[in-house]
Each structure stands twice: as C-alpha cells, then as structure tokens.
Amino acid sequence: MISLLSLFAVMPVMAQQSKQTTTLPTSGHAPVNGIQMYYEIHGAGNMPLVLIHGGGSTIETSFGKLLPLLAQHYKIIAVELQAHGRTGDRNKAESFTQDADDVAELLKYLHVAKANILGFSNGGSTALQIAIRHPQVVNKIVAISAVTKRGGLIDGFFKGFEGAKLASMPKPLQDSYLKLNKGNKKGLQNMFNRDVERMKTFHDWPDGDLKHIKAPTLLISSDQDVIKPEHTFELARLIPHAHAMILPGVHGAFFGEICAPHPDEKMIEATSLILQSFLGK
C-alpha cells in the first residue's frame, strides 16, 4: 500500500518542477473494430497516457478537471468508448473485453507501441483488461474504482439496475451526451441501455487473469465509493506489481468527476501529483 504521507511530502518539490511544452489539442475518429472511435490528443511527452472514462460518461465528464493538469506533463490520448460520447455503436453488447480490444486497436491506428493506461470506474476495469489481453502495449496501469467481482461493489448496488429508467441516470451525464450529439435522445437511451445491460450481466473475473498482469499497477478508490475498499486491496494482492490507495470522498471526487459534489481543487491537484509520482516522466 502506498503511503499517502510520503507522496504528499514530495508534492511541493514536484509542483516546482518545470512543465513540458504543451501542444494544441487535436481530435478525430478512428475506424476501430467496426465502429468510429472518438479520441483527443493533448499535451506532449515520450510515454503517452491513455484516459478511459466511466460508464455513461464522456472525456469531459470524467476528466474535465484532471486532464488539463496531466496534459502539462504528458501526451494524453483521451478516448470515448462504444456508444459513448462521440463514438459510434455496433450491433453487439458492450463488454470490458471488447472495450479493451478497441483501445488497443486505437493505439495501433495511432502508431503508439506502448502507453500508460488510466481508467475510471468501468474505464478502470477496461484498463485492467487491456493489461490482461494486450500486455505488449502497456507500460503502467492506473485503475480508479475498478471492479472485477460482483461482491466488490457495495451491498444493494445491483438492485438499482432492476427496472432502471433513463431518469435515474445523473443529469450531468445526460446533458453532456446530448450536448455532444445535438440532442439525440435515442442515442442517449441506447447508451443507457447498453450500460445497464453490461452491469446486469456482469460476472466475476478469474483471479488467475489478474495474477498474470505484468505491468506496475496503481489501484485507487474512495473511502465512500461504490467499490468496497477491501476489493481494491484484494486486487492489489492478486496483481503482482500493484499498490493500493484509498482517498477521501465519494466515487470520483478526488479527481473532480462531474457528478461528485463540491469539487476540491487542491485534492484534484494532489491527485495529479500522486499520478505523476507513480507514472514518472
């Protein structure tokens, strides 16, 4: 387990370090496994950092506050997954394995041989699947609020998907999708249905898959998360080169996810520095 105190001790020094020259962001769509996958590239650096959003989310709703901080130090490749944001859909259910294959194919399209991967929530689980299925493209993994077992989520979590309606989806996530897709309510409903079905049919992953992850891994969740802290620690014990950290707040609060109330700018900056400490330059 990483010592929070030791990381905060080095933050003043890291904050004073010179920032890399950034470049203007670019964006586009890539033909990936039958869909047009949206991506953005921010910043500059030798080892790219891929950002993978959470369920029902977009690049902006998950990483709107964290991305600009990280882009001062890294080349960021932010993606939107199947049926989310500006990425198209396919006639096939969402899955963490398919998402992992899509991200790996996108990196191939962009001629990126190896990258650091950071994912949040469903994106955190996708990041772990990339490490399992495509180890050759992974340098380091940061999995935030990732889950690999149904029992890793708080009691009663799955009951919320029984008869779930679009109205129960957080409004900031709905608004973001509609803004990016010219008010396409049919597309929003489709994304919601895809996400609900993914969770309703979610099955435990074999522990053996996690034991074969070779990349250095940082697992982070919140003390009031939908992920049980003990699940995060269990993953850290299973993955050979993993560390675990529990930070204060609700799901996504410590890095400023849009649905987290009362964002703490200093905590978001601290999270950026923690990530820099783990990822290096």
pLDDT at 17 exceeding the cut of 50: no
Using DSSP's 3-state secondary structure scheme, residue 118 falls into strand
CATH architecture label of 4-279: 3-Layer(aba) Sandwich (3.40)
Of residues 29, 6, 38, 217, the one with CA closest to residue 125: 217
Which pLDDT does position 10 carry in this prediction? 46
Q: Helices (DSSP H) in 96-148: which residue ranges?
A: 96-109, 122-133
Q: Where are the beta strands (DSSP E) in the chain?
A: 26-32, 35-42, 49-52, 76-79, 115-120, 138-144, 217-224, 242-250
CA dist., res. 56 & res. 184, Å (int): 14
What is the residue extent of each domain of the chain?
Answer: 4-279
Strands, sheet with 76-79, edge to edge from the N-terminal-most edge strand: 26-32, 35-42, 76-79, 49-52, 115-120, 138-144, 217-224, 242-250
Find tokens 């099955």 and name the residue.
203
pLDDT above 50 (res 13): no
CA distances from 58 to 71, 122, 129, 154 (A): 17, 12, 20, 24
Rounded to an integer, the average pLDDT of 114-137 is 98
Mean pLDDT of 191-212: 97
CA-based max dimension of the chain: 52
| Mean pLDDT computed over every residue of the chain | 93
For 202-252, write each residue's pLDDT tens digit: 999 999 999 999 999 999 999 999 999 999 999 999 999 999 999 999 999
Output the CA torsion sign for 81, 27, 119, 153: negative
Output the six-digit token pair for 76: 């960021």
Helix axes 185-200, 171-180, angle to 10 degrees: 130
The pTM score is 0.92
Determine the average pLDDT of the residues in 14-22. 45
| Residue 45, Ramachandran bin (φ over 0: left; ψ between -120 and 50: alpha; else beta) | left
**Paired tokens of 87:** 């990425």
Q: Is the pLDDT of residue 6 over 70?
A: no
pLDDT, residue 23, reads 66
Nearest to 231, CA basis, from 172, 152, 170: 152
